[in-house]
Amino acid sequence: MENVVEPAFQELPASATQQLDLDQPVPSQEAFLQEFRRLLGAITLRLRQHPVIVAHTENNFDGSGVRRLLSNKFEFDKLLDSVWREVPRERKDKQASKEYLRIALDRIADSAGLPPLGAVGQVDAVVNEAFKMAKADDLRAVDEAEFKKLLTEVLGAVMLQLDASPVAVSTNTVVHEPMCTSSSSSALLSPTPLSPMVSSPASE
């Protein structure tokens, strides 16, 4: 908007700018379309002179990462031991509240091929459902064995749900914008139909 669209508005003749003012009534549909075409022409010219390169990637969360983690018992047990050591617990009975299950799950999300909690709404919904299925949402204190068992059950439920209904996320990131005075990038996460992972620059 700042580097392409707004400068294109400024390049239009004063009369055109006034007609495109959103606060002013448009005389006719024909007049609006005429000025809109002029604006699109100015935008096209600026993009030809200063192309914006965008990297496009698509990530499919289909539960395969969780399956790989659960199938490697040695590595998974090491991971469970690691997250349990980080969980605050009562010294007396060595128990921890179930509320820390979500923190523990977030710590191992990358190893399970899952996005961080809060990053992808569709995956968060799957995780919330998995917690309900495992009855892991109350604040009752549990010992180490039950904590690890519940975390395993939650991961298993997430895996089954994603296997049945995978979530695909498309990410578009500006990687080269010569018109910017400072380095910046913009990213958009949005659900898309399933397709293979793609990562390639494109000019707009």
Encode pLDDT of 66-97 as tens digits: 999 999 999 999 999 999 999 887 655 678 88
In a domain? residue 118: yes
Are 75 and 154 part of one and the same domain?
yes
Concatenating the DSSP letter of every residue in 148-159 gives HHHHHHHHHHHH
Q: Residue 58: which pLDDT band, with cuts at 50, 70 and 90?
A: confident
Residue 19 lies in a domain: yes
84 and 26, same structural domain?
A: no
Q: Residue 15 is encoded by which pair of tokens?
A: 């009369």
Residues 40 and 74 in one domain: no
20 within 8 A of 9, measured Cβ to Cβ: yes
Question: What rounded mean pLDDT belongs to the chain?
Answer: 81
Domain extent at residue 5: 1-50
Residues 46 and 83 in one domain: no
**Each residue's pLDDT tens digit, 87-146:** 887 655 678 888 899 999 999 999 999 999 999 999 999 999 999 998 888 878 899 999
Identify which has the larger pLDDT, 76 or 30: 76
Nearest to 151 by CA among 91, 88, 72, 84: 84
Residue 79 located in a structural domain: yes
Look-up of token digits 């009562």: 90
Within a domain: residue 114? Answer: yes
DSSP-derived letter for residue 23 is T
Q: Are residues 157 and 102 in the same domain?
A: yes
Q: Residue 172: inside a domain, yes or no?
A: no
Whether residues 93 and 159 fall in one domain: yes
Contact assessment for residue 126 and residue 167, using Cβ atoms and an 8 Å cutoff:
yes
In a domain, 203, yes or no: no
Using alpha carbons, list the distances in angstroms from residue 50 to 43, 87, 151.
Answer: 10, 51, 50
Q: For residues 30 and 81, state if they share a domain.
A: no
Q: Which amino acid, 33?
A: L
Residues 67 and 150 in one domain: yes
Has residue 176 been placed in a domain?
Answer: no
* Structural tokens at position 62: 């289909």
| In the block, residue with structure tokens 């790989």 | 68
CB 54 within 8 Å of CB 204: yes
Same domain, 154 and 71: yes
Q: How many domains does the chain have?
A: 2
Same domain, 46 and 66: no
Residue with tokens 């498309």: 170
Q: Kindly state whether residues 36 and 70 are assigned to the same domain.
A: no
Cα dist. 25→31, 41, 136 in Å? 11, 22, 57
* Residue 190 located in a structural domain: no
Asked if residues 38 and 10 have their Cβ atoms less than 8 Å apart, the reply is no
**Do 100 and 122 reside in the same domain of the chain?**
yes
Read off the pLDDT band of 178 (50, 70, 90).
Answer: low
- Quick one: pLDDT at residue 61? 95
